[in-house]
Amino acid sequence: MMQLRTLPAQTVFFLGLCLSGRRGLASAPELKEQPKKIAVIGAGIGGTATAYFLRQEFGPTVKIDVFEAGTVGGRLATEKIGNAEYEIGGSVIHPLNLHMKHFVDRLGLSLRKDVPGKMAVFDGEQLIFEESDWFIVNFLRMLWRYGFNFIRMQMWVETLLDKFMRIYQYQQYGYSFSSVEKLFHAMGGDDFVLLANKTVGEVMVDAGFSQNFLNDIVIPINRVNYGQSVRINGFVGAVSLSAVDSGLWAVDNGNKRVCSGLLYHSKAELIPAQVTSITPKLRPIRSGKSGTVSVYEMNYIGESGSAHSLYDIVIIATPLHQDLSQIAFPGFSPPIPSYFPGRYQQIVTTLVHGVLNTSFLGVTTDSSQFWVSDILTKENKELIFNSLSSVDPVHIPDNYVHLPASVKKVWKLFSGQPLSEAQLGQVFLSWDTVRERKWLAYPKYSPPHQRPPFLLHDRLYYLNPIEWAASAMEMSALSAKNVALLAHHRWHGLESKIDQEDLRTRLRSEL
């Protein structure tokens, strides 16, 4: 993904204060004993943020185990070329992603130094748009080609972003939601729910945007960010379009450091194992009294073979789709499926250390004069990639500068399928290193889509339904906070903090 804009500094400051400094207001009186053991499945940003927020909600005594079948970070990962590492999964973060910002501050991490780049759009034969170094030139070119579409798009996205930002205040006051629909309704009413159930193409055409603008600008942005076109839902479309302004950031030395930091900070135990099944069980009460309590038995396969453990609460922080997680749920009534409907979009990230063949892009000037860093593409079946970007390492050394295309450097391609040697030979004049990672990256959006609930069973929660509204690091973090609050409130019977209507008016009077 590439991304976005700036909000008024005082808004960010206020919300930042809210996130970090008003915990007391959100805390509820403890009504019953805390749970003894909680399991989180998945150590991506969603699972590790869940462990962090669970510790905040349930305090120091609960044992939190985080199961991870692969690598901590999940879809946040880096790959090494030469002496430097490069992001190959989730790479950029919006300036208003306040949970991510809070994590970085709290964990004492730093932001990567910003190296501004230039963008162009390729139609398969030539560059139809190339960003200039001069703001006024870009502005006039956009105005000439698309009238006021571009400015209207920015205003449209900003209006939606304003509504989205309400969630931070609700969460600070401890409110939680049992489904994506209820969460969206609280942020922006019926219109917001509808936005996530229509395609961004429909929404933008209804709002008067031109087809030309959708083809030349909106589709290329969606292709680089989500590997899809204007058939994605309106909300994820707005998230994608918010990527066009300045202020995007990444974590110095790699975004995945947030995940390992959150894990450490939450004092959770990392269990390197693949969870295979979860079953509801009854176990006798320990304190000598008669009776039973319901728990979940987790079966898993780790380094020393198969094992199982009992937990009071279980949180699934990995998509239950296709072959992504492979968890069975025997013994539940009503049954829980291993896979919910819907598919994930395959995206292949290819890093190439090489010299670009600028004539492939229809560029006729000398490649030593070609400084474009991000090449987006129009929809064209003949095209072998969705985007092509010159990428900076996760740590920017002193005196680092962008190089022109004539010099060997690291390029990142997103494509639907792996690229063959012959295809790489079209795009590059020469190369010495290639790294490839195949992802089931994010949902294949085709609204309207039935999203699973956050609550799968009495104390079994699921984080990733949020991805069907939009998949991004911040969305997983936001869902993690919601599920931690939900688990806490349901454990303590605090119904007044769940699925409340008209929160805006209520909070205005509370303030």
Ligand X SMILES: Cc1cc2nc3c(=O)[nH]c(=O)nc-3n(C[C@H](O)[C@H](O)[C@H](O)COP(=O)(O)OP(=O)(O)OC[C@H]3O[C@@H](n4cnc5c(N)ncnc54)[C@H](O)[C@@H]3O)c2cc1C
Residue among 89 and 342 whose Cβ is closer to ligand X: 89
Binding residues among 155-214 for ligand X as defined by CB under 6 A: none
Residue among 370 and 442 whose Cβ is closer to ligand X: 442
Residue among 275 and 315 whose Cβ is closer to ligand X: 275
Q: Which stretch binds ligand X (CB under 6 A): 71-79, 112-120, 140-148, 415-423?
A: 71-79
Verify binding: residue 386, ligand X, rule CB under 6 A.
no
Q: Find the shortest distance in angstroms from Cβ 97 to ligand X.
A: 7
Q: Which of 4, 5, 15, 68 binds ligand X (CB under 6 A)?
A: 68
Binding residues among 213-242 for ligand X as defined by CB under 6 A: none
- Residue 504, token pair as written in the block: 């805006």
Dihedral sign computed on CA atoms, order 94, 97, 100, 104: positive
Size of the site for ligand X (CB under 6 A): 37
CA distance linking residue 493 with residue 391, whole number of Å: 49
Q: Which residue type sits at 408?
A: K
Strands (E), 383-459: 387-390, 409-415, 428-443, 455-457
Q: How far apart are the first and last CA of the chain?
A: 37
Binding residues among 32-51 for ligand X as defined by CB under 6 A: 41-47
Binding residues among 264-283 for ligand X as defined by CB under 6 A: 274-275
Q: Which residues pair with 145 in a beta bridge?
A: none
CA distance linking residue 15 with residue 359, whole number of Å: 48
Residue among 221 and 347 whose Cβ is closer to ligand X: 347
Residue among 217 and 316 whose Cβ is closer to ligand X: 316
Between the CA of residue 152 and those of 100, 156, 158, 222, what are the distances in Å? 28, 6, 10, 18
Residue among 151 and 307 whose Cβ is closer to ligand X: 307
Q: Which of 149, 229, 266, 325 binds ligand X (CB under 6 A)?
A: 325
Residue 283, Cβ neighbours under 10 Å: how many? Answer: 11
Residue among 47 and 354 whose Cβ is closer to ligand X: 47
Binding residues among 415-454 for ligand X as defined by CB under 6 A: 439, 441-442
Verify binding: residue 251, ligand X, rule CB under 6 A.
no
Q: Which of 89, 234, 447, 465 binds ligand X (CB under 6 A)?
A: 89
Assign 81 to helix, strand or coil. Answer: strand
Binding residues among 472-511 for ligand X as defined by CB under 6 A: 472-473, 476
Q: Which residue in this structure is represented by tokens 């492979």? A: 326
Angle ∠(473,82,79) on CA atoms, nearest 5: 25
Residue among 342 and 492 whose Cβ is closer to ligand X: 342
Verify binding: residue 464, ligand X, rule CB under 6 A.
yes
Residue among 93 and 460 whose Cβ is closer to ligand X: 93
Binding residues among 335-364 for ligand X as defined by CB under 6 A: 347, 349
Q: Find the shortest distance in angstroms from Cβ 313 to ligand X.
A: 16
Q: Is 367 exposed, middle or buried (0-12, 13-18, 19+ CB in 10 A)?
A: middle
Q: Find the shortest distance in angstroms from Cβ 475 to ligand X.
A: 6
- Residue 159, token pair as written in the block: 């209006």
Q: Which residue type sits at 469?
A: A
Q: Find the shortest distance in angstroms from Cβ 477 to ligand X.
A: 9
Q: What is the secondary structure of 291-353 as a DSSP string?
A: -EEEEEEEEEEETTEEEEEEESEEEE-S--STTSS--B-TT-SS---SS-S--EEEEEEEEEE
Angle ∠(17,20,25) on CA atoms, nearest 5: 90
Q: Which stretch binds ligand X (CB under 6 A): 106-114, 154-162, 321-329, 365-373?
A: 321-329
Binding residues for ligand X, rule: CB under 6 A, are 1, 41-47, 67-70, 74-76, 89-93, 274-275, 317-318, 325-327, 347, 349, 439, 441-442, 464, 471-473, 476
